[in-house]
Structure 1
Amino acid sequence: MNLDPNLPAMSASTFKPSIWNRLRNAFFTGLLVLAPATITIYVVWRLFVFVDHLLGTALRRGHFRLGGVPSLGFLTLLAIIMAVGFLANNFLGRQIGAVLEGMLLRVPFFRGLYAVVKQVGEVLLGDKRGAFQRVVLIEFPTPGRYALAFVTASPASGVTLPGGAPLVGVFLPHAPNPTTGFLLFYPPETLIPTSLRVEQALKMVVSGGVVNPGTVA
């Protein structure tokens, strides 16, 4: 595929996300940061109180006296969580997860939220992470300014300049939501290698640069 030199050039402002997109990304990122931890802590605490109370009642009925040791409820809850984890890793657990996912996708608001959470999870932890070959610096949006990008297509992908020179495909993610961004093509010699691993670069993008792994180049 050759790039048409007659296509109009895009300025740096073309790549700037709109205010609505920034607000949307900030909202979903805030939910991504707060919701999992808050919900997890709340659910675990409620389960702990329930299991501890249930065990205490059962032991009192059985005339057992353990001096009200709170660790018993915690250990029981830990065993339950591990059992659910083992169940979720097998075929039956995946089937149940698929049913719950289908139900969640029918709820209008949570459908969009779940899609964003799932995409971020796949990028950070799942198979999609392997699609990023390496982390590089590119000049963007203007000369003298640099952005982190992920190489996704080698020169053998078939994208070339009109003279036949190969181009490398890179994905430039939006911060703090790495599931959206731009697919750009650069000559291989213009890419600046970095010492970052893909996981480190993704953490920098999601945190807006707060998580700093050290030297970039």
Structure 2
Amino acid sequence: MLKRLRTYFLTGLLVLAPVVITGYIIWKLFVFLDHLTGATLRGGYIRPGGVPGIGFVTVILIITLTGALANNILGRSLGGVFEGLILRVPFLRGVYLTLKEMGEALLSDKKGVFQRVVLVPFPGPGVYSIGLVTTPPPRSVDDAVGTALEGVFIPTPPNPTTGHLVYYPLEQVIPTTLRVEQAVKMILSGGVVVPAGPVLSSQEPAPNEMGAT
């Protein structure tokens, strides 16, 4: 049962992430244009206060129910219709497809997009973040900086389809034994869900054992 709910949740997240982010961009654009013309949005549908945590629970339920719906034929049909409407709009088409591809790469078993999970110094020296190795930069970039670089995508919670693309020298990239799915679970849970067993490759020293220079 828990495995099925987890599948529904991840499927719902995969379906909703590009839709929500696309909707957020539209909303921000509307607010910008609204303020530009001198008007203001009128709220008031939700009163201040309320039940603490009810918003979080509601979001989890919506994502899970969306995943359950998307797993059946009716859900796939409705999703196809909605996706078709978005793809008809030139600007939204590019945003939606990019976010959808990112979501599929992070939350599905699609191989070859992210090669492996690593630890990298981010956002600064002495602080390490989980990163996903992606395609390297063009050769001209390596030649310009004078060393070989590796492309690392660093997801940010609560939406792992957004994050930072950073190019690191190879010696700063620490390999791990984590799978992409395990890394995404750790990020989504804020580090609460941690896989059992060693995380760093046996041949690699732990970050705090590497020594400061």
Q: Secondary structure at the match of 1:150?
A: strand
Match of 2:63 among 31, 36, 39: 36
Match of 2:185 in 1: 203
Shift of 1:207: 1.9
> 1:143 and 2:143 equivalent?
no
Is contact 1:138–1:149 with CA below 8 Å preserved after alignment?
yes
**Mapped partners of 2:65, 2:176: distance in 1:** 35
Match of 2:199 in 1: 216
Q: TM-score, normalised by structure 2?
A: 0.50
1:134-173 matches, within 5 Å, as 134-154=116-136, 158-160=140-142, 162=144, 164-173=146-155
Determine which structure has more spread, i.e. the larger CA radius of gyration: 1
Aligned residue identity for 2:160: P
**Mapped partners of 1:155, 1:136: distance in 2:** 17
Shift of 1:143: 1.5
Shift of 1:167: 0.8
Aligned residue identity for 1:37: T
Structure 2 stretches of 5 or more lacking a match?
1-20, 25-54, 89-95, 201-213
**Mapped partners of 2:107, 2:56: distance in 1:** 14
Q: Secondary structure at the match of 1:132?
A: coil
Is contact 2:131–2:155 with CA below 8 Å preserved after alignment?
yes
**Mapped partners of 2:150, 2:160: distance in 1:** 20
Is contact 1:151–1:170 with CA below 8 Å preserved after alignment?
yes
Q: Secondary structure at the match of 1:131?
A: coil
Is contact 2:99–2:161 with CA below 8 Å preserved after alignment?
no
Can you list the C-alpha shifts for 1:77-103, whole angstroms capped at 9, x where unaligned?
Answer: xxxx97x48xx6xxxx6xx75324335
Question: Structure 2 vs 1, CA of residues 216 and 31 (structure 1 numbering), >3 Å: closer, same or farther?
Answer: farther
Is contact 1:29–1:176 with CA below 8 Å preserved after alignment?
no
> 1:176 and 2:158 equivalent?
yes
Shift of 1:116: 10
**Mapped partners of 2:158, 2:126: distance in 1:** 23
Match of 1:16 in 2: none
Shift of 1:176: 2.0
Shift of 1:158: 4.4
**Mapped partners of 1:185, 1:30: distance in 2:** 37
* RMSD after superposition: 4.1
**Mapped partners of 1:186, 1:174: distance in 2:** 18
**Mapped partners of 1:116, 1:152: distance in 2:** 15
Match of 2:106 in 1: 123
Can you list the C-alpha shifts for 1:63-89, whole angstroms capped at 9, x where unaligned?
Answer: xxxxxxxxxxxxxxxxxx97x48xx6x
Is contact 2:177–2:199 with CA below 8 Å preserved after alignment?
yes
Q: TM-score, normalised by structure 1?
A: 0.49
Can you list the C-alpha shifts for 1:17-51, whole angstroms capped at 9, x where unaligned?
Answer: xxxx9xx8xxx98766321334678x8xxxxxxxx
Question: Structure 2 vs 1, CA of residues 102 and 30 (structure 1 numbering), >3 Å: closer, same or farther?
Answer: farther
